[in-house]
Structure 1
Amino acid sequence: MRQILMLHGWGFPGAVYNSSLIDKLATDFEVRAPDRRGYGGNVDNGDSYEITRLDSPALLVGWSLGGLAALQLALRQPDMVTGLVLLATTPCFVNHLDWTFGMDNEVFDVFHKLVVDDPVTAMQQFVRLNAGRRPDGQSTVVLSDLSSKVTPYALQHGMSELAETDLRDVVTEIDQPVLLLHAADDRVVPATASSWLQENLPNARRFEFQTGGHAFFLQQADKVAEHIRAMA
């Protein structure tokens, strides 16, 4: 059975995929959604996923920070990655002098400080940002519930990873098929970031949803599952 490895983003464990995508794919694929250290059922603190190497070929599905991890896995083990589906993913999360498709540095620094000082309030704010400009109640409930299943240590390490990771100079080495999915109303990662990836990845195509926010796959689950199925 073909394998799909789903890598979650910052702030929410792998269970974020359960009701939206895993249930729709599990009948035809072997689907795994591992937790980063300090997330969900993975109680160990740390700054990465347990998976450092792939033992068998898999399609990688990565959301946001998980998309960065998927790109890094594809660079590290290209023979084990059959393709990538990147959800709301950027090669570089924060702005630089030569990169304006990220988060403003002052906004990031203020939020980073809030994560350190008051992680509960920080996650409440992040849930609202993820839900998009037209949030539906169910998505907000799912995100709110899952946001409590992450240790403060893991949140802080993830913020440092987002601040420091910049894959712009190496993504051109990824020649596997890549599907970029994004929502136009994403308030965390600008949709222009995945447009840049489409232009710079050798074998990429892109589809943009009009609504759904950063966690658009919760509202657009059926369509996202169809896209993943076609890639697998």
Structure 2
Amino acid sequence: MTNCIYRHQTGQGKDLVFLHGWGVNSGVWQGINQVLQQDYRIHTIDLPGFGLSHQCLPDEYNLQKISTLVEPHIPAGAILIGWSLGGLVANQIALNNQVQLAGLINIASSPKFVSDKNWQGINFKVLQMFSEQLQEDFAKTLERFLAIQAMGSQSARQDIKALNAAVAQYPSPNVNALIGGLQILEYTDLRQQLNTIEIPVLNCFGRLDSLVPAKTQPAITECYTNSQVVTFEKASHAPFISHPEDFIKAIKGFVDQIH
């Protein structure tokens, strides 16, 4: 089953492994990786059911099973980088402790995406609405979700266009993966486990992010015992799209510091 996971490798140097978010694929990293591959060996992975892994599905689409599928494709000593849903997968892999990681970078990700009375995040009903709409027209639903990810960014229109263009190069995601991915976002809560992650962690946030609100960002960073944070003041949910130069600088600073 693990052989059906698609991984692309380019460049030479320290290993950086990128995991994308919900509804998209590894194409989202193209812009920044053209720069990063000059100094590092870059691995981009399509999560099960997405991109060129669209036919690769576990018998049950949950966080543990998709993390187990991805683990064999991560080189020992790599820095694992996850965006949004990919951040949950990256953290679960770090918690599994089956792969020797040098560091972990979370991009606009949260150990608990859904809000409650003590935690700000996405309204549970919004995710349920997306689940229902997927059954009717998943192309339009994906388009709406990508638009939400760029909300607040000064370059929102360009960001949405860039995300759509990157995603369109790959096969459409499997509907079961879309539904399963939303359920992971709806029900996962890793907050109480994250203090067992001992490797260095960098949390990258956009101050204007509506999916991982600014008020929640300090609490997320406090969940880790060895963490740093960088906040992109004018970015939303995809700082690597809207502010690639600043994002690359932050990544390089962290990677070169821990190696």
TM-score with structure 1 length normalisation?
0.91
Which aligned segments of 4 or more residues in structure 1 are displaced greater than 6 angstroms?
none
Q: Which residue of 1 aligns with 2:4?
A: none
Retained in 2: the 8 A contact 1:88–1:194? no
Please state how far the C-alpha of 1:147 moved relative to its aligned partner. 4.5
Amino acid at match of 2:129: V
Retained in 1: the 8 A contact 2:124–2:186? no
Does 2:179 match 1:156?
yes
Q: Which residue of 2 aligns with 1:173?
A: 196
Does 2:135 match 1:135?
no
**1:41-97 CA-partner distances (Å, limit 9, x unpaired):** 223142426413444110011101111111111111276111111110100111245
Amino acid at match of 1:123: L
**1:10-44 CA-partner distances (Å, limit 9, x unpaired):** 1110110111x211111111111100122112231
Please state how far the C-alpha of 1:153 moved relative to its aligned partner. 2.2
Amino acid at match of 2:90: A
Amino acid at match of 1:219: S
Q: Which residue of 2 aligns with 1:195?
A: 218
1:72 corresponds to which of 83, 92, 101: 92
Please state how far the C-alpha of 1:146 moved relative to its aligned partner. 4.1
How has the CA–CA distance of structure 1 residues 90 and 193 changed in structure 2, closer, same or farther, with 3 Å as cutoff?
A: farther
Amino acid at match of 1:213: S
Does 2:148 match 1:126?
no
Q: Which residue of 2 aligns with 1:14?
A: 26
Q: Which residue of 1 aligns with 2:106?
A: 86
Within 1, Cα distance between the matches of 2:89 and 2:159?
A: 24
Q: Which residue of 2 aligns with 1:186?
A: 209
Retained in 1: the 8 A contact 2:15–2:42? yes
Retained in 2: the 8 A contact 1:177–1:204? yes
Q: Which has the higher contact order (CA 8 A, sep 6+)?
A: 1
Count matched residues: 230
Does 2:115 match 1:95?
yes
How has the CA–CA distance of structure 1 residues 194 and 70 changed in structure 2, closer, same or farther, with 3 Å as cutoff?
A: farther
Unaligned runs of 5+ in 2: 1-12
Amino acid at match of 1:104: N
Amino acid at match of 2:20: H
TM-score with structure 2 length normalisation?
0.82
**Identical aligned residues as a percent:** 27
Within 2, Cα distance between the matches of 1:89 and 1:194?
A: 9
How has the CA–CA distance of structure 1 residues 228 and 4 changed in structure 2, closer, same or farther, with 3 Å as cutoff?
A: same
Within 1, Cα distance between the matches of 2:187 and 2:181?
A: 10
Q: Which residue of 2 aligns with 1:58?
A: 78
Within 2, Cα distance between the matches of 1:119 and 1:87?
A: 25
Within 2, Cα distance between the matches of 1:112 and 1:79?
A: 32
Q: Which structure 2 residues correspond to residues 42-57 of structure 1 after superposition, within 5 A? A: 42-46=53-57, 47=61, 48=66, 50-53=69-72, 54-57=74-77
Within 1, Cα distance between the matches of 2:137 and 2:27?
A: 24
Unaligned runs of 5+ in 1: none
Amino acid at match of 1:229: K
Retained in 2: the 8 A contact 1:123–1:147? no
Please state how far the C-alpha of 1:4 moved relative to its aligned partner. 0.4
Please state how far the C-alpha of 1:210 moved relative to its aligned partner. 1.7
